[in-house]
Structure 1
């Protein structure tokens, strides 16, 4: 406590060997107490005694026993001081080192509350300094990021920013509703969907290819198979059939309903043979999008789904699968 720290004397240091110190102090609210300092505190104490040795030799006799002896020429009340810190000292140190809080303003130091605040923040109920822990609860998220997650080179910073941008783009793509065209909308595609056409950068030729089926992949029509969204730009997209369900370049038409049902059946077979957590991690988002697209078609023409279901044999031979992806 401040009343005990301010009045510490050199005579209150009881050295028990080279690395252990028993510190005696007077706590005003109770009585004389003592504590054993840890190794870091002992090392700090040794450094301070070495630093203040010169001042202690030249100080008046009444000041030499004070632990926090300091010599400040020109200060009010004389050059010799016994107290460890003052408000002026703290403000000067904070200004010199430009210490600020998370709000960007100078950090406020409450001297009498430092010890109590430290003890309350040292939450040891769920964290014990384990190397397996990723976040110390005694640090704010900003401190964790600045000291442990900040990249050190421009190349690393670019890589991190690229990862963040890609993740954000994926979230935006997954949040967009699927672009589904009914029979009546296909004829007036450019007129009914001018915003989507403009966003995708489609011209009349590209729209014609989509409507005619020239740009079809397995479950949708692709507006640009060479865009490089899932592979090298300028080369055919290498994405697996189900990936197209969440691709922003995909457009679903009634002619894709049979393959969508085949994909739905494939997901059902995978669900039966794959642990739930693994299925949701690999196929979950795509299975949900396929159901959304089929629900849109079902709302416009329920008979379309029934007619297409007759052509589904529920086998892996209906899909372009790799050997390791087969379920039978």
Structure 2
């Protein structure tokens, strides 16, 4: 971003990552010198020096400067930033809200060493007031999510069907029957002359306004809106696009035709600007690509007659306030919250009402763009790991957790608790030392180490079978191959040979030494063909357990004899083809 302080009048000029510009006016304040000092602090808060990258933040901090200057002047302070002392700042902070304290603290931090040393002590410590914690958006429930998706999809299918019907009628040409007061003639009229007001349409047809009374005018408006999608249709398309892609609402809102790169008949790369981060790209899911194609077909009539300034915007729609046909005013508008925030909010409310969306409790359901994105990632996260450590790299782990993890239904919360319990139990099992026995210890194991016998859950007869070799696997003797620690309970354990090294059911005796050394040689071969990071991620814990906790507990003579049986080749181990090293 490019940001600079200008004078005569005093102002801060911003240029944002998406190419838009905005000027924050700081003229005519009660203390212009202090306003200028704080404006330079604001510049230090803007990307790339700071974290501000969005218009909303720039507007908010410019307003904060004006209010801070005015309120300090009302308290009797008229000096510059260098004259500001701890007493002034503390008195001011105690008189305003926690949110204002948060914003003014950040402004003063941006001013750096120009702030008095006494104030900087408070800037580095705990704030005297904290802003109220924001309440995370809860994802829609599964029932609400299905209802929203199905409602929007069915609504848009009906819109597209009506437009195809009107286009087919328009292709038949004008129809003068009923004095031109019929749908076919209306369809031809709006295709040839654009979305005329009713009064203009009667003039083109050579009729009087009286002929449009008694419901005929409503019929004409229905044909016009079917040909040229109004704001409510574009809003529904934006919401369903968010349901299918999970892109941030402001990224969808500002899309243009140039933001799409078609990489195939059914694949597209979308470039968009996220307010707090800047440019991002995403490969659209297949159904989002199909929806995009349907919207391009649906918006073609309105795009064809749109002014050049907005024809390249993706979401163009027929303005609800129709203008004169003399060309002096545009009849079209790009769907943008900057241009028409009230119309967008009204369209969402009306859309939810028309679709009769209801919560699980039967109350009216509100459509919220950001909540749709939250639900998209919540659903995606419950399907499995998405490959991302965080949904939004701007978030801290605590914010990410409160926004996307903690917002769960009772059933989801129960599942999460079960996963946590299983993970904790697994960590506890792995922390226990391995059971490694020599011949003498094996003979006295049941009587000398009853706690270990209880840990394995075996009786005397089963322990005899274990120590006698009847329950051996490749690496160790297994107390219960059907325990389900590494696979479905009641089915044979599917774990790879090295997994036994960390398994709490494994017992290692001298007869297993040759295979343990073969496994050690296998680890050495893998370490030579993998990077250190890869090896540690895949084999690190097992190699460490083998080298430090298991092999050192065998007699050196046992290991020396076993080493003579190791040929250091893959065929010595039960490996899958993809696990080979030779």
Say whether 1:295 aligns with 2:552.
Answer: yes
Say whether 1:184 aligns with 2:440.
Answer: yes
1:22 is aligned, of 25, 30, 39, to 25
Whether the 8 Å contact between 1:121 and 1:138 is mirrored in structure 2 is no
Per-residue CA deviations over 1:188-211 (Å, capped at 9, x if unaligned) read: 111221112222322112211111
The equivalent residue for 2:425 is: 169
Whether the 8 Å contact between 1:219 and 1:242 is mirrored in structure 2 is yes
2:451 is aligned, of 189, 195, 205, to 195
Say whether 1:317 aligns with 2:574.
Answer: no
| CA RMSD, Structure 1 to Structure 2 (Å) | 4.2
Say whether 1:306 aligns with 2:306.
Answer: no
CA deviation after TM superposition for structure 1 residue 134, in Å? 4.7
CA deviation after TM superposition for structure 1 residue 139, in Å? 7.2
Whether the 8 Å contact between 1:26 and 1:33 is mirrored in structure 2 is no
Counterparts of 1:122 and 1:144, CA distance in 2: 30
Say whether 1:217 aligns with 2:473.
Answer: yes
Counterparts of 1:121 and 1:31, CA distance in 2: 14
Whether the 8 Å contact between 1:190 and 1:197 is mirrored in structure 2 is yes
Whether the 8 Å contact between 1:181 and 1:251 is mirrored in structure 2 is yes
The equivalent residue for 2:247 is: none
**Structure number with higher helix proportion:** 2
Counterparts of 1:122 and 1:189, CA distance in 2: 72
Counterparts of 1:210 and 1:257, CA distance in 2: 16
Change (3 A) 1:122 1:198: farther
CA deviation after TM superposition for structure 1 residue 137, in Å? 10
CA deviation after TM superposition for structure 1 residue 240, in Å? 0.7
What is the number of equivalent residue pairs in this alignment?
250
Map 1:64-103 onto structure 2 (within 5 A): none
CA deviation after TM superposition for structure 1 residue 23, in Å? 4.2
CA deviation after TM superposition for structure 1 residue 269, in Å? 1.7
CA deviation after TM superposition for structure 1 residue 220, in Å? 0.6
Whether the 8 Å contact between 1:261 and 1:312 is mirrored in structure 2 is yes
Whether the 8 Å contact between 2:93 and 2:101 is mirrored in structure 1 is no
Map 1:100-111 onto structure 2 (within 5 A): 109=98
TM-score relative to the length of structure 2: 0.37
The equivalent residue for 1:261 is: 517
* Structure 2 gaps, min length 5: 1-21, 43-53, 61-69, 72-91, 113-275, 281-387
CA deviation after TM superposition for structure 1 residue 33, in Å? 6.0
Per-residue CA deviations over 1:29-54 (Å, capped at 9, x if unaligned) read: x567697x99548988xxxxxxxxxx
CA deviation after TM superposition for structure 1 residue 326, in Å? 1.8
TM-score relative to the length of structure 1: 0.62
216-225 or 110-119: bigger deviation: 110-119
The equivalent residue for 2:300 is: none
The equivalent residue for 1:10 is: none
Describe the SS at the equivalent of 1:234: coil
Per-residue CA deviations over 1:278-299 (Å, capped at 9, x if unaligned) read: 22211111112222311111xx
1:286 is aligned, of 529, 542, 552, to 542
Counterparts of 1:119 and 1:31, CA distance in 2: 11
CA deviation after TM superposition for structure 1 residue 307, in Å? 1.1
CA deviation after TM superposition for structure 1 residue 110, in Å? 9.0
Say whether 1:242 aligns with 2:246.
Answer: no
Map 1:100-179 onto structure 2 (within 5 A): 109=98, 114-117=103-106, 120=109, 129=277, 134=390, 142-179=398-435
Describe the SS at the equivalent of 2:574: coil
254-263 or 146-155: bigger deviation: 146-155
Change (3 A) 1:317 1:144: closer
Describe the SS at the equivalent of 2:475: coil
Change (3 A) 1:122 1:242: farther
Change (3 A) 1:115 1:321: same
Counterparts of 1:217 and 1:150, CA distance in 2: 42
Per-residue CA deviations over 1:76-129 (Å, capped at 9, x if unaligned) read: xxxxxxxxx997995xxxxxxxxxxxxxxxxxx496675024653999xxxx74
Whether the 8 Å contact between 2:26 and 2:35 is mirrored in structure 1 is no
Per-residue CA deviations over 1:104-162 (Å, capped at 9, x if unaligned) read: xxxxx496675024653999xxxx74679959999775444323432422343344334
